[in-house]
Amino acid sequence: MYLSEEQIRLHLTYKTLIPAIRQSLIDYSSGRVDQPLRQVIRVKDHTGAFTGWFATMPVVAGEFMAVKTVTFFPDNAATSALPTHQAIIELLDRATGKPLALMDGRLITEMRTAAVSAVAVEALAPGPQTLGILGSGVQARSHISALRAIQPAFREPSAVRIWSRTQENAQRLAVETGATAVPIEEAAGCDVVVTVTSSSTPILLGKWLEPDALVLAVGAVGPHLRELDDAAMQGCLIAESRQGAENESGDVLLSGAQVHAELGEILAGSAPLPAARRRVFKSLGMAIEDLTGAVAVWRSLARPPSH
């Protein structure tokens, strides 16, 4: 069975995905998930020039297994109608190894990433009133939707403040989502600040942040890429995966920051909630999150229609 993005959109909602992701993070940090680091191949064209990357992400958890293959070709944004990120997820039965479904992975990746951030906000930033978004692409839009689903204060237009390196893109997204386009310093001064850019060098400076802000660092994946400067990384660092942060995050490796705890440990109560000061959550994306999204779609399909 192959499920297209259009079919997945009918069966995947933040209402069901966010609590499922919360449990999957607890399971991961409790040792109930078998998940190696993603394997990445740098792709070159016939001249030897770098064009993108190709990654595989396998996982075994609960009653299921899954593997996602994902590509990132940044030039698609300017030269093709295709998205920069494309993915396929294969869902399998753990007991028998039987393939159950092949799913387009782009939307699942988009939504599970934002759902992880929603779980982080619920756990790490009680009662935030303002949301700053640095970036104006797919993840900017999905984060606004997911975070509004868990925080009513973010539904006010003045509460969500968007900055982008291209001002026209920030203004367009603000109009589409009922938010406000602002200078970067204003977006960075919010209670919750989300970085979802394609920048490979820091765009968020610590001097702009409030002392007790929560930063969700989402956009830079790779040991040589970062969105936050050293001052921004001085807050208490929480990660999805300690192993992932210490191997795949330039924000962590290049700043020398130490991981206080995994988010799943805090959710499970096996690690203390950090003191009331700046908190930084580094999100890199994990295969267990892709499996969780695929299982939510699979179970929705199996559920009899309501009358």
Whether 128 and 67 map to the same domain: the answer is: no
Q: Are residues 293 and 273 in the same domain?
A: no
Contact 237, 260 (CB under 8 A): yes
Please report whether residue 307 resides in a domain.
Answer: no
Shared-domain flag, residues 295 and 271: no
- What are the percentages of helix, strand and coil residues in the chain, rounded to 5? 40, 25, 35
For position 230, what pLDDT does the model report?
96
Q: Which domain holds residue 85?
A: 2-107+289-302
- The CATH number for 46's domain is 3.30.1780.10
The pTM is what? 0.94
Given this model, what pLDDT does residue 307 score? 47
Both 59 and 190 in one domain: the answer is: no
Check residue 185 and give its pLDDT: 98
Q: What is the pLDDT at residue 42? A: 92
Torsion of CA 132, 6, 4, 107, to 10 degrees: 10
Alpha-helical (H) ranges within the chain are 5-11, 14-29, 76-79, 106-124, 138-150, 167-177, 184-188, 242-248, 250-253, 263-268, 287-302
Question: Are 96 and 135 members of one domain?
Answer: no
pLDDT of residue 222: 83
160 and 228, same domain (yes or no): yes
Query: Domain holding 199: CATH number?
Result: 3.40.50.720
> Are 212 and 89 in a shared domain?
no
Residues 156 and 253 both lie in one domain: yes
Q: Are residues 64 and 154 in the same domain?
A: no
Return all residues near 78 (Cβ < 8 A) that are at least 6 apart: none
Predicted local distance difference test score (pLDDT) of residue 126: 86
Same domain, 128 and 160: yes
Say what the pLDDT of residue 1 is: 87
Name the stretches of the chain with pLDDT < 50: 307
pLDDT score at 306: 55
Considering the domain architecture, whether residues 133 and 70 belong to the same structural domain is answered as no
The confidence score (pLDDT) of residue 96 equals 98
Q: Tell whether 99 and 126 lie within a shared domain.
A: no
Check the CA dihedral 217-293-109-168 and report its sign. Answer: negative
Residue 83 lies in a domain: yes
Give pLDDT, residue 277.
84
What's the structural domain count of the chain?
2
Q: In the structure, how many helices (H) and strands (E) does the chain have?
A: 11, 15
Interatomic CA distance for residues 87 and 66, integer angstroms: 13
Give a yes or no: residue 221 inside a domain: yes
